[in-house]
Structure 1
Amino acid sequence: MDSHLQPVITLTNNVHIPDLPVLPSFNPEHLLNLTDSTGMIQHALRTMPNRKEGYCTDDNSRALMLTALAWHQGRYPEALKLMSVYLSFVHYMQTDDGYFHNFMRYDKQIIFDGSSEDAYGRTIMALGYLVAFGPAPQMMKTAEDIFLKAAPHMDNLVSLRGIANSLVGLCVFAKSQDNNSQQLELINLLADKLIAEYHRYSEDSWCWFEEVLTYDNGILPLALVHAYEITRNDSYLQTALEAIHFLETKVFHDDILYPVGNDGWASKGGDTALFDQQPLDAMAMVLFYQQAYQVTGDKHHLDRLMQSWQWFLGSNALGLPLYDEITGGCADGLQPDRVNENQGAESTIAFWISYFAVAQTLNQ
């Protein structure tokens, strides 16, 4: 066994998993490398932070969620220090009406581009996790204040991924609170929006929420499984399982994950692009299967969880690992003949969020 690898702690629930995976040790070096006193720089030139590209709320929110998971599972001191930086960035980017700017230049000038429902949803998701798993009441209360100030915008979301990310965050937030009829009403509202889009586009040969499979696909059924866990509305779970079954026919071949390629996507009636495969998509699949296994106990989801995780480590179309054990970073994508040499924020965070999802599942 390589010296950098550590076995996963023995399972305590007597679940048998063939070929129990080995997880690398948590290595926050590249996260630290990409983070300064302002926040996480969004892109890298190979392993060097690319300051010319500045910061974004998207990545700082995902990084905030990562630190909440890391702290909850391992009490890593690096996570605690980084958490404060990312939360401060999110707070600074929140507007007076509760929404969020997305981009900031390296000279700390906000780019006024109309903001992004995706970034809003990912921030809601991260804040929900911090409220649920934060290290101290003061920090959790700050996250709750930011969350509640932003929450009124959920009613008007139209982007499917903005809706789905927000719904996940809202459900995680609601589970940590006393029963709240307004939160339950909002969970149903967002879930019903996803259900409506599913029925609009689905037919016998296409069971999905839109006419094309693009990016972060697993987040859509993931949100419905979270909503089911709160509401016990069977239609949410049924739709999520139908959708993921369809998605599996597009992205799994011989039990290897082939995320829909960024270079062309997958349109109804068309071909599925093989490359450029993105870590964000593998992470969404990991998170879906973690939640689906937790809610249903179906071993199929556990198997798919491990197959999705192994994509990062080399069980993929090229047989090449995207995770860099030396730097603790993750390559930005899988291209036709190689992995992308750049190790940006989104990719590295996607790897480590997936890591903690797998670790939590294996040690339940």
Structure 2
Amino acid sequence: MDYQRHWLEDSGSDDSHGRALWSLGTMLGRSNTPALHSMAGRLFEQALPAILNTTSPRAWAFALIGIQEYLQRFAGDRMASQVREELAGRLLALYKRHRSDEWRWYEDGLTYCNAALPHALLMCGRWIPNNSMTEAGLESLSWLADLQRANTEGRHFVPIGSNGFYQRGGDRARFDQQPVEAQAMVSVCLEAHRITGDKRWRKEARCAFEWFLGRNDLNLPVYDPTTGGCRDGLHPDRPNENQGAESTLAFLQALLELRLAENAVLPVDTR
């Protein structure tokens, strides 16, 4: 949509459709506001069938996270359950098709919001339930966590860079590093901890969160306590000083999820 509120595309992107279902499903699953339920319920019902026509694994993953949130409250919805099983089956099939001992992933490349893929499969594996999905989710997450760790002392979190990403058999991009990668990693590691009880995943979640606070390649904070915002990422030589909505929301979501999981005050002043 442009500034005159005219649509610029004949149809929206797979990614935006998946994210819309994620937000609607989460709101329906967690909110207790009747007015919001009525509006979001209609949108969720209308948008759900169309996700089956998309081809993006990330769109499937975003939608699956929202569908699972929705089903926590509306477990009897057969349509939502059927869409969940279809999309989760697609993700598992992708993983089996691309996986090797050296490359434990769903595609031939890692791009953006990578952690959403094992996150969706872990949630579905737990609640469908399906052990193969859980095992694939944990295996791919473990591989991703090892990949996104510095080789220096301290082993800080290093997300896949957006300036080239990482294609199978190619060179991995180190920069630019984006806040959504840290947030996605926090979320999936906390989910893995809830499923397994393995303390490793709480440590991994905390390590990814500390990227915001300065435990990163530049040793500079991405979160800005003076504004309450979050910088838009790390360039090779400096932070991106723009503080956009996506980045700030990524920080706040990661912080909230950690607070809920740990029930403790984190070492950051957000007042």
Is the structural similarity TM-score above 0.5? yes
Within-5 A mapping of 1:1-364: 104-112=1-9, 114-253=11-150, 254-363=154-263
Runs ≥4 residues deviating over 4 A? none
Q: Secondary structure at the match of 2:48?
A: helix
Amino acid of the residue matched to residue 172 of structure 2?
Answer: T
1:121 and 1:354 mapped to 2: Cα distance? 20
Contact 2:179 2:250 (8 Å CA) reproduced: yes
Could you give the per-residue CA deviations for residues 219-245 of structure 1, whole angstroms, max 9, x where no partner exists? 000001111221120011100111111
Contact 2:183 2:253 (8 Å CA) reproduced: yes
Contact 2:112 2:162 (8 Å CA) reproduced: yes
Amino acid of the residue matched to residue 58 of structure 2?
Answer: R
2:75 and 2:163 mapped to 1: Cα distance? 45
Q: Secondary structure at the match of 1:343?
A: coil
5+ residue gaps in structure 2?
A: 265-271
1:233 and 1:249 mapped to 2: Cα distance? 25
Contact 1:250 1:272 (8 Å CA) reproduced: no
Worse-matched range after superposition: 179-188 or 164-173: 179-188
1:264 Cα offset (Å): 1.5
**1:49 alignment counterpart:** none
Could you give the per-residue CA deviations for residues 89-132 of structure 1, whole angstroms, max 9, x where no partner exists? xxxxxxxxxxxxxxx22332332253111000011000011111
5+ residue gaps in structure 1?
A: 1-103
Q: TM-score, normalised by structure 1?
A: 0.69
Could you give the per-residue CA deviations for residues 23-71 of structure 1, whole angstroms, max 9, x where no partner exists? xxxxxxxxxxxxxxxxxxxxxxxxxxxxxxxxxxxxxxxxxxxxxxxxx
1:287 and 1:144 mapped to 2: Cα distance? 25
1:172 and 1:262 mapped to 2: Cα distance? 29
Q: Secondary structure at the match of 1:293?
A: helix
Higher relative contact order, chain-length normalized (CA < 8 Å, sep 6+):
1
Worse-matched range after superposition: 290-299 or 215-224: 290-299
1:252 Cα offset (Å): 1.1
Q: TM-score, normalised by structure 2?
A: 0.92
> Identity of paired residues, percent?
37
1:291 Cα offset (Å): 1.3
Backbone CA RMSD of aligned residues: 1.4
Contact 1:167 1:223 (8 Å CA) reproduced: yes
For residues 178 and 210 of structure 1, do their structure 2 counterparts lie closer, same or farther at Cα, with a shift above 3 Å needed?
closer
1:246 Cα offset (Å): 1.3
**1:100 alignment counterpart:** none
2:218 and 2:196 mapped to 1: Cα distance? 32
Amino acid of the residue matched to residue 165 of structure 2?
Answer: W
1:349 and 1:268 mapped to 2: Cα distance? 31
Q: Secondary structure at the match of 1:206?
A: coil
1:208 and 1:113 mapped to 2: Cα distance? 32
1:295 and 1:137 mapped to 2: Cα distance? 31
| Number of equivalenced pairs | 261
1:350 and 1:291 mapped to 2: Cα distance? 17
